[in-house]
Every structure is written in C-alpha cells, then in structure tokens.
Amino acid sequence: MTKPSETPSLPVSLKELRERVRAPEAEREDLDALLVEMTRPVRPDEDLRARADVLHRLIEDPVLRGLRGRDMRRVDETAVCALVVLGEPYASELSAEGDSSTRH
C-alpha cells in the first residue's frame, strides 16, 4: 500500500532506460529493466515509430548490443524480437543479419 507521502513510480520509457544503461554508473538492475521494457506489450497510446527507432538504436549501439541481463538475454537479440512483434513495417526494416541496415 502506498503511503500518502509516497508517489507511485511512473513507467520509465524505453529511451530513458537506454540512457540509464549507457551511463557510467549503470547497474545490472538498469539493464534488466531495459530488457523487461523491450518485451512488454505495446500500450494503445504508444507511438510505434518512436518505439521502433529506440529498438533500432539498441541493435546498433556498440556499447549495449552485446550486453546480457541476469536471464542471459542479449540486448540486441531482444530488440530484434521486439521489432518483429511490432509487425510491419517495422519488422521489414531489419536486414537478414538482424541489424537495422535496411532501415529508411
């Protein structure tokens, strides 16, 4: 139960989590939160293009793409799966190698 002096935490965007994980003071929990956020269902009011753009940045990010969470999921592989779940046209923006090189 939330105490009157406490405010419930607001959802953190995928973009904000990406920046947290890139920060020098990032912790394992930040990486795990990013992986969870990538796999959550899309909200009805969510901008799919903006979500897809962040997922592409994660795939291409040389610092983050190969990192693994506690459950051993890799950032880039999880981002590719999340793009596929978004469907067309976002899934077709992936190259055969699973990167974003075919994105327009």
More confident residue, 62 or 2: 62
- Give yes or no for residue 102 having a pLDDT over 50: no
Tens of pLDDT, residue by residue over 43-88, are 888 899 999 999 999 999 999 999 999 999 999 999 999 999 999 9
- SS3 label, residue 71: coil
Q: Which pLDDT value is given to residue 95?
A: 76
- pLDDT band at 101; cut points 50, 70, 90: very low
Rg for the chain (alpha carbons), in Å?
15
- Rounded Cα distance between 19 and 33, Å, is 12
Residue 14 in tokens: 């995928």
Per domain, the residue ranges of the chain are: 14-93
- SS3 label, residue 23: coil
* Percent of the chain surpassing pLDDT 70: 81
Q: Please tell me whether the overall predicted TM-score, pTM, comes out greater than 0.85 for this model.
A: no
- Rounded Cα distance between 29 and 47, Å, is 26
Q: Please give the mean pLDDT across all residues of the chain.
A: 84
Q: Which pLDDT value is given to residue 82?
A: 95
